Amino acid sequence: MIRQEDLIPAGARCLCALSGGCDSVSLLLLLNELREEKDLTLCAVHVNHGLRKAAAEDEAFCIDLCQKLRVPLAVFREDAAAFAAQAGLSVEEAGRKLRYERFLQTARDLGLDCVLTAHQRDDQAETVLFNLFRGAGLSGLCGIGRSREFAPGIRLIRPLLSFSRAELEAYLKEAGAAWREDESNRDAAYTRNFIRLELLPAVENRFPGAAGRIAQTADQLKEAEDYLEEQTERLRQETAPSGEDCLPVPLLKNAQQALKTRLLQDLLRENGGLKDITALHYKEALALIGRQSGSRLSLPGGRMLLREQESIRLLPQESPEDRGDSGTDVPPALSVRLFPYEKGIKIPDEIYTKRIDYAIMNDHVCLRRRADGDYFYLPGGGKKLLARYLVDEKIPLSRREKVWVLADGSHVIWAIGHRLSAAAYITEQTETVAELTAVFKEERSE
């Protein structure tokens, strides 16, 4: 099937990501079979994250396997846990970031033109479901791409997406090949493991072959995604060339609904990226089309959208002094996203996006202006008046009165734009996490 899909061109200079698990060992052996037939240059890379007692044994296994196959192997030893703490990431996110950095570094150092990873069909189904449950859009439901540009002159290829884990295990058993098992993959406390170990098997039991059909659907959605992206790019080039910091209002008014959000995504992606941009931001951004000139919308990343006469322009966010802090007369729109707590969860340090322990939320919590007597709890114990905090932070009096708070009585859970109460912090006792995002709409006439 790898030959039929022809993802790997003849003469390619390949780097195989090798963990020692069933999938990556299968990939290495399959590439080795194709090495002479397709005139491939074949190297491998192994990243030891230093997280498991068996990590050294995994590393030794990969070294031994590559020596037997006469495949050059680059080995990296990383401290993923320390990097996660330093970068404010979960251990899983940190490990992935480190892996891909080392993949790219090795490919460049060795003059290789493609990096191959061993994601297979069950991984694809798991990813699609994971993204679906998190509320991903069409791009998320496309799952894992088969091939994309990793860096200039280097492609990232996943040639095993048509194979199931069972097929790969059968291939290795027939070849008499061994592989390593990562015991952490059996811990269903992690969301992805839960999907892999409990949810997908239950679905397969009721609907045999479901994982394969989910993967096929992802392929079909990718075709639709590619088409919509082409149409979006065509519209941008016709009316708002890449690199411009605005979108013409007539373009947004006349574009098909499916393309409007994509046009905004492209604008934001090219000017600061999409980090912490949510569906609520896109909804409010599109609402600017029908508003008067001078209306504006605050965005994460120190940016805002300004409604001009004939365009919607992306600008740096005004300073708190210029815009009256988060104290516009229009209350913020507040979105809430819930998900189970996982150990190592990332806690974003964003001004208008916070993650809290959902247990603190109750029917008495409301969004209102700051009031006398408001307080929040301190991390070390005790509490502090919000008014005193604002004075200590040197917030001018004219802006102190305009602060919006999410509060339970006088207890301020979140002084929006400022800080959280320690009572809302996520701990190991947290069961459900609430991600709160505040979006401010500022309407001003010229």
CATH number at residue 6: 3.40.50.620
- pLDDT tens digits, one per residue of 129-138: 998 988 777 8
- The CATH number given to whatever domain includes residue 365 is 3.50.40.10
Residues 105 and 22 in one domain: yes
| Residues 393 and 274 grouped into a single domain | no
Specify whether 71 is located in the same domain as 168: yes
The predicted pLDDT at position 121 comes to 94
Do the domain assignments include residue 127? yes
Question: What pLDDT sits at residue 235?
Answer: 84
Residue 75's domain spans which residues? 2-217
Are 344 and 311 members of one domain?
no
Whether residue 290 is found in the same domain as residue 403:
no
pTM above 0.85, yes or no: no
Q: What is the pLDDT of residues 267-289, one digit of tens each?
A: 888 888 887 788 888 888 999 99
Over the stretch 70-117, which tens digit does the pLDDT of each residue have?
999 999 999 988 888 888 777 888 889 999 999 999 999 999 999 999
Residue 331 scores a pLDDT above 90: no
Is the domain of 288 the same as that of 408? no
pLDDT exceeds 70 at position 1: no
Task: Provide the pLDDT for residue 58.
Answer: 94
Single residue among 290, 317, 344 that ends a domain in this structure:
317
The mean of the pLDDT values for the chain is 87
- pLDDT above 70: residue 420: yes
Instruction: Give the model's pLDDT for residue 52.
Output: 84
- Does the pLDDT at position 324 exceed 50? no
34 and 109 in a single domain? The answer is yes
Q: CA dihedral in degrees (361, 364, 368, 369; nearest 10)? A: -100
Residue 437 DSSP SS3: strand
pLDDT band at 60 (very low <50, low <70, confident <90, very high): very high
Q: Which of 318-327, 373-382, 435-444 has the lowest average pLDDT?
A: 318-327
Let me know if residue 327 belongs to a domain. Answer: no
| Total number of domains in the chain | 3
Question: Tens of pLDDT along 186-199?
Answer: 777 778 889 999 99
Q: Is the pLDDT of residue 348 over 80?
A: no
Q: Residue 222: inside a domain, yes or no?
A: no
The residue from 288, 317, 346 where one domain ends is 317
Residues 372 and 290 in one domain: no
Whether 37 is covered by a domain: the verdict is: yes
Mean of pLDDT values over 371-389: 90
Spatial contact of 121 and 161, defined as CB atoms under 8 Å apart: yes
pLDDT bracket for residue 308 (50, 70, 90): confident
| Domain stop point among 172, 200, 217 | 217
DSSP 192-208: HHHIIIIIHHHHHHHST
pLDDT of residue 445: 37
Q: What CATH number does the domain containing 256 carry?
A: 3.30.465.60
Shared domain check, 425 and 312 = no
DSSP, residue by residue, 151-212:
ETTEEEE-TTTTS-HHHHHHHHHHHT------GGGG-TTSHHHHIIIIIHHHHHHHSTTHHH
